[in-house]
């Protein structure tokens, strides 16, 4: 459990500089800032009001299983200061089974009893209250930070296998998900649904051959069922020749989605045990890139080329690094002997660990890398995130998203960098 309190956190100099710059540009004294608040805002603003840039999405995934080994709870979003800066949370993951949406882990979702110290509200759960677990904590978070929109995300890498069967009857699938997302036990908690199918008309853990229209057919059915609620999706960033983007009509899907989160990370990693070492989240091409089309820039350009509006695209940021061991070369492109050790899985480690255990030693393609001993890691830092957000704004993207909260520093440095970079 992270113990820092949002009330104890110092102001970041970057925010102060941005505020001074804004006031200077508007020729306003500091007291003139009040005039920038609309009457509607004045009637609703609280001490926990958002500071996110208007219209820019800063979305974070909250992993359901993080309450176990990681000990990461909804209260940590508050304690880190991130609750003030995000706009959306995707709760990950629900499952897709037998043509319908189902709960992933009922105990973590709505049964676990929280103590007063663990709780967002500071009040302990009772054994007989109707809703406990993450859902009740998210409800408390939303009461304190009403600007945050919360979506329930279904699928993910491990649970995407059920989408093909479900899409044999899109309307029944969408209705089952609507009924679960809006179940009376947690009515009003979720503002919509996120669909993370890895991958329509392509292969992840399983393969789908439903055709390029299936993604759009799915989102059209969900839009019809969910109405004014949010309908979003996480999508591939594989822009290689004949790759996963080319297998789907994403422009058709975008017609029915509020936004599409492009997973511009995990391009390279220690599943290629001997290398070459390469950054897992390159923004742009560089000499020695192991696979053409495996960059954030290429993914966005491919989607824009299909006709997806830039304002509906979110750039993905991984709050973790991927690494190799047995590496002697500092720059990318070196050989390796296998995956670097990780806390939970070989070849992967959280940013908050790597920032001190293996600090960045260089940058390439808009992201950072680190060579320490015989280990080589790549990951984003606050500085590279700021650069990526500048890039996203220049291209008119709708914002950014990240996987996932528990990888950040205790003070939410990466979330802050996304927020400041989009402002």
* Amino acid 55: pLDDT: 76
In a domain, 374, yes or no: no
In a domain, 42, yes or no: no
What is the tens place of the pLDDT at every residue in 183-202? 999 999 999 999 999 999 99
The pLDDT confidence band at residue 54, using thresholds 50, 70 and 90, is low
What is the tens place of the pLDDT at every residue in 116-138? 999 999 999 998 999 999 999 99
Domain total for the chain?
1
In a domain, 5, yes or no: no
What is the tens place of the pLDDT at every residue in 363-377? 999 999 999 999 999
Is the pLDDT at 264 greater than 80? The verdict is yes
d(CA 422, CA 88): 14
Is the pLDDT at 385 greater than 60? The verdict is yes
**Containing domain of residue 305, as a range?**
50-318+381-422
State phi, psi for 206 to the nearest 5 degrees. -130, 170
d(CA 319, CA 353): 11
Give the number of other CB atoms < 10 A from CB of residue 122: 11
Q: Which helix (H) or strand (E) holds 217?
A: helix 214-226
- Residue 63: strand, helix, or coil: strand
**Average pLDDT of span 142-161:** 98
d(CA 154, CA 156): 7
In a domain, 35, yes or no: no
CB 373 within 8 A of CB 290: no
Give the list of residues 6+ apart from residue 381 with CB closer than 8 angstroms, or none.
351, 355, 360, 368
In a domain, 326, yes or no: no
The pLDDT confidence band at residue 110, using thresholds 50, 70 and 90, is very high
* Amino acid 409: pLDDT: 98
Is the pLDDT at 2 greater than 80? The verdict is no
In a domain, 110, yes or no: yes
My answer on whether omega of the bond before 199 falls inside 30° of 0, hence cis, is yes
Catalytic residues: 198
Is the pLDDT at 161 greater than 80? The verdict is yes
- Bridge partners of 353? none
* Amino acid 392: pLDDT: 98
Is the pLDDT at 417 greater than 50? The verdict is yes
- Bridge partners of 57? 399
**Average pLDDT of span 297-311:** 98
In a domain, 289, yes or no: yes
Domain CATH number, residue 289: 3.20.20.80
Average pLDDT along the chain: 90
Q: Express the helix, strand and coil content of the chain in percent, nearest 5 each.
A: 35, 20, 45
In a domain, 231, yes or no: yes
What is the tens place of the pLDDT at every residue in 188-240? 999 999 999 999 999 999 999 999 999 999 999 999 999 999 999 999 999 99
The Cα angle at residue 243 between residues 394 and 58, in degrees rounded to 5:
35
413-422 vs 13-26: helix crossing angle, rounded to 10: 10
């Amino acid at each position: 459990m992270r113990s820092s309190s949002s009330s104890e956190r110092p102001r970041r100099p970057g925010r102060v500089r941005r505020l001074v710059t804004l006031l200077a540009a508007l020729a306003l004294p500091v007291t003139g800032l009040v005039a920038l608040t609309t009457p509607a805002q004045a009637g609703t603003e609280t001490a926990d009001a958002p500071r996110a840039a208007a219209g820019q999405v800063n979305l974070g995934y909250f992993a359901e299983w993080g309450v176990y080994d990681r000990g990461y709870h909804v209260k940590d979003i508050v304690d880190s200061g991130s609750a003030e800066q995000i706009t959306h949370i995707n709760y990950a993951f629900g499952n897709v089974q037998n043509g319908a949406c189902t709960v992933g882990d009922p105990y973590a979702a709505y049964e676990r009893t929280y103590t007063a110290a663990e709780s967002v509200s500071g009040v302990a759960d009772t054994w007989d209250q109707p809703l406990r677990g993450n859902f009740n904590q998210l409800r408390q978070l939303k009461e304190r930070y009403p600007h945050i929109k919360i979506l329930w995300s279904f699928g993910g890498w491990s649970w995407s296998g059920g989408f093909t069967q479900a899409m044999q009857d899109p309307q029944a699938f969408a209705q089952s998900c609507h009924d679960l997302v809006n179940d009376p036990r947690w009515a009003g908690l979720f503002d919509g649904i996120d669909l993370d199918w890895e991958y329509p008309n392509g292969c992840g853990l399983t393969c789908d051959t439903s055709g390029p229209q299936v993604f759009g057919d799915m989102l059209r059915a969900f839009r019809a069922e969910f109405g004014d609620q949010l309908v979003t999706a996480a999508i591939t960033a594989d822009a290689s020749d004949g790759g996963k983007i080319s297998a789907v009509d994403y422009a058709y899907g975008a017609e029915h989605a509020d936004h599409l989160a492009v997973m511009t990370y995990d391009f390279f990693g220690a599943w290629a045990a001997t290398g070459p070492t390469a950054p897992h989240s390159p923004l742009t091409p560089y000499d020695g890139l192991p696979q053409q089309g495996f960059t954030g820039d290429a993914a966005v350009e491919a989607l824009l080329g299909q006709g997806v509006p830039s304002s509906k695209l979110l750039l993905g940021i991984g709050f973790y690094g991927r690494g190799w061991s047995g590496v002697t070369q500092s720059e990318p492109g070196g050989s390796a002997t296998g995956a670097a050790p990780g806390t939970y899985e070989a070849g992967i480690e959280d940013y908050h660990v790597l920032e001190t255990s293996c600090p960045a030693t260089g940058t390439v393609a808009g992201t950072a890398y680190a060579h320490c001993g015989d280990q080589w890691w790549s990951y984003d830092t606050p500085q590279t995130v700021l650069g990526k957000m500048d890039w996203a704004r220049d291209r008119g993207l709708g914002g950014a998203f990240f996987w996932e909260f528990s990888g950040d520093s205790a003070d939410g440095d990466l979330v802050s960098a996304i927020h400041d970079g989009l402002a």
